[in-house]
Amino acid sequence: MFFSTQASFTASFVIGAVGILTCRNARKTKFMYLAIIPLMFAIQQFAEGVIWLNLGGRAVPEILVEFSKYLYLAFAFVIWPVWLPLSLFLLEELPLRKWLISPFFLLGACLAAYFVSYLPGNTIIAETTHQNIHYTLKTPFAIDEWFLIGIYTIATIIPCLISSTKYVIEFGILITMAWIASEFFFNSNFTSVWCFFCGLVSVFIYIVIRANVCSPVTTQGYRR
Q: What percent of the chain has a predicted confidence (pLDDT) above 70?
A: 95
Binned at pLDDT 50, 70 and 90, residue 2 comes out as: low
pLDDT of res. 219: 44
Q: What average pLDDT does the chain have?
A: 89
DSSP class of 218 = G
Binned at pLDDT 50, 70 and 90, residue 216 comes out as: low
**Res. 8: pLDDT tops 70:** yes
Closest CA to 29 of 83, 90, 86: 90
Binned at pLDDT 50, 70 and 90, residue 217 comes out as: low
Residue pLDDT, tens place only, 17-43: 999 999 999 987 889 999 999 999 999
Taking the mean position of all CA atoms in its chain, how far away is CA 28? 21
Residue pLDDT, tens place only, 145-183: 888 888 999 999 999 999 999 999 999 999 999 999 988
Distance CA 119, CA 128 (A): 21
Domain that holds residue 74: 5-220
Q: State pTM to two decimals.
A: 0.90
pLDDT of res. 99: 94
Total tally of structural domains belonging to the chain: 1
Residue 167: CB atoms within 10 A of its CB come to: 18
CB 40 within 8 A of CB 224: no
**Domain containing residue 29: CATH number:** 1.20.1070
Binned at pLDDT 50, 70 and 90, residue 184 comes out as: confident
Q: Quickly list DSSP for 142-178.
A: SS-HHHHHHHHHHHHHHHHHH--BTTHHHHHHHHHHH
